[in-house]
Structure 1
């Protein structure tokens, strides 16, 4: 089916209102983009953040009467004059097929692979995590996930316990179980992440070894041999006490979702309790790894 997208530049205060208007005018889907490539950090639970200059993108059937939509847009009073918008035709492709064709098995470290279900497994003797892209973050393609997967491949030992803080798709916790861990606790603020992790755990036959929680339900007294938190620098610093408490004395910690410019501030937040390894860097993102002092 051919599509047309309407891109409307607005402010963070009006982004949600513009989204509601586009949906009311017949948009099949609405997304938000940053107009000026400004960094935005992962929100805390219950918090919604938009960019100061936000582009709201509405996706319409190409046969939709877009002249009427544009006329309605021009009548919106808070734009204070001609709204900043752009209509664009999208190429008529089988977007699902295109997406599937471009997602391939990926290797991490010496023995760990992530494989989509529609591809052949490159090495049946390796440690293979079966994972299809979905609603929750984490397929291995982003540098932060890749850095954590490489670390897990080199770190996890049989019978260890692991916490995956900010579990997203469940990729890190599932990889840890496939590498020999006996138990994983996964925590995420997004209920869709819990659903995705549950589905992916079943796909990999490890559902009996992973426990998944929203923050309000997470265990309070559990300590693990290995803790990995792939979120972002701001939340990593703010949630330092909670994340640190999951690591047993002498246990190992990996933190990612951090830009090189933010690394030292995160190290400073944890340095009273942890001794850090050299920083691992990939495409301006870093992974910090450390051991908790006994």
Structure 2
């Protein structure tokens, strides 16, 4: 099906309203693009941030009456000083197939693979996690997830209890179970992540070994052999007391979602209770690993 793309220049305060307008006028999907390449690294839990200069992109069926959409856009009250926009024709492609073609099996360390369901498994004898891209964070393509997966692959997890703090898609907990962990507790602030983790655990046949909780329901006195937390530097530091308490004396901790410039501040938040290993770096992101003092 051919598509038309409408790009509307906006601000962070207007972006959500522009998105709602485009959807109400018939857009099949809406996305947000940074107009000036300004990075946003660290929203607070549950917060959605837009760029100061945000382009709101609406995708319309090519037969949609775009002249009517443009008239409505130009009359919109939020654009007091006029609106800047651009209409673009998109090449007629099988967009679902195009999207699927971008995801391939990925290897982490020596034993561990993440494989989309529509691809052949490269090594049936390896530890294979079957995972399709979804709305919850974590497919293995982001450097922070890859750093955690590589670390898990190198650990002896046999019969261990693992806490996946900020479980997202469940990829880290599922990988831990496939690598020999006995039980995983996953915690996330997003109910959709809990649903995604359960669905992915079921697809991988490990749903009986994983427990999933929103923060209000998370176990209070649990102590695990291994805790992994792939979230962001701010929440990692702010929640250090909660995360640290999940690690038993002598247990292991892996933290990621951290930029190189943020690593020391996160280390400082945990240093009283943990002895840290050398920092692992992938692109601009780091993974911190440590053992809890006895």
State whether structure 2 residue 221 is matched by structure 1 residue 230. no
- Contact 2:5-2:60 at 8 Å conserved across structures: yes
Find the counterpart in structure 2 of residue 10 from structure 1. 10
Find the counterpart in structure 1 of residue 34 from structure 2. 34
> Matches of 1:235 and 1:43 in 2, distance apart?
9
> Matches of 1:133 and 1:218 in 2, distance apart?
26
Structure 2 counterparts to residues 76-91 of structure 1, below 5 A: 76-91=76-91
Question: Where does structure 1 lack aligned partners over 5 or more consecutive residues?
Answer: none
Q: 1:120 to 1:46 in 2, by over 3 A?
A: closer
- Contact 1:252-1:292 at 8 Å conserved across structures: yes
SS of 2:278's equivalent in the other structure is coil
Structure 2 counterparts to residues 272-283 of structure 1, below 5 A: 272-283=272-283
> Matches of 1:107 and 1:248 in 2, distance apart?
30
> Matches of 1:171 and 1:240 in 2, distance apart?
22
TM-score, length-scaled by structure 2: 0.96
> Matches of 1:124 and 1:185 in 2, distance apart?
27
Structure 2 counterparts to residues 1-294 of structure 1, below 5 A: 1-294=1-294
Q: Shift in Å at residue 188 of structure 1?
A: 1.1
Moved more, 76-85 or 174-183: 76-85
Moved more, 175-184 or 6-15: 6-15
SS of 2:110's equivalent in the other structure is coil
> Matches of 2:38 and 2:48 in 1, distance apart?
16
> Matches of 1:235 and 1:35 in 2, distance apart?
27
Q: Shift in Å at residue 30 of structure 1?
A: 1.5
> Matches of 1:271 and 1:88 in 2, distance apart?
53
Over the aligned positions, Cα root-mean-square deviation in angstroms equals 1.4
> Matches of 1:273 and 1:9 in 2, distance apart?
48
> Matches of 1:42 and 1:159 in 2, distance apart?
35
TM-score, length-scaled by structure 1: 0.96
Moved more, 276-285 or 32-41: 32-41
SS of 1:77's equivalent in the other structure is coil
Question: Where does structure 2 lack aligned partners over 5 or more consecutive residues?
Answer: none
> Matches of 2:59 and 2:91 in 1, distance apart?
13
SS of 2:261's equivalent in the other structure is helix
Q: Shift in Å at residue 42 of structure 1?
A: 4.5
- Contact 1:156-1:176 at 8 Å conserved across structures: no
> Matches of 1:209 and 1:42 in 2, distance apart?
32
- Contact 2:45-2:235 at 8 Å conserved across structures: no
- Contact 2:252-2:291 at 8 Å conserved across structures: yes
SS of 1:19's equivalent in the other structure is helix
- Contact 1:156-1:226 at 8 Å conserved across structures: no
> Matches of 2:237 and 2:26 in 1, distance apart?
42
